Structure 1
Amino acid sequence: MTDNTESLILEHLKRFQVGQDRIERKLEEIITRMGNLEISVASLRRDFGHSEEIAASMSVRVDRLNERIERIERRLELTS
Structure 2
Amino acid sequence: MAEVTNEPIYEVLKSIQTRLGNLEDGQREIKTELQALRGHMLAMQTDISNLYAGQAKVELRLGRIERCLELSDATV
| Separation in structure 1 between the aligned mates of residue 72 and residue 56 of structure 2, nearest angstrom | 18
- Structure 2 regions of 5+ residues with no counterpart? none
Structure number with the bigger relative contact order (C-alpha 8 A, sep ≥ 6) is 2
- Structure 1 regions of 5+ residues with no counterpart? none
> Normalising by the residue count of structure 2, what TM-score does the alignment of the two structures yield?
0.87
Q: Larger Rg: 1 or 2?
A: 1
Equivalent pairs counted in the alignment come to 73
Other-structure match for 2:41: 48
Runs of 4+ in structure 1 off by over 3 angstroms are none
- Candidates 55, 71, 76, aligned match of 1:78: 71
Shift of 1:24: 0.7
Q: Cα RMSD between the aligned structures?
A: 1.1
Among the aligned pairs, what percent are the same residue? Answer: 18
SS in 1 for 2:70: coil
Structure with the higher fraction of residues in helix conformation: 1
| Separation in structure 1 between the aligned mates of residue 71 and residue 25 of structure 2, nearest angstrom | 65
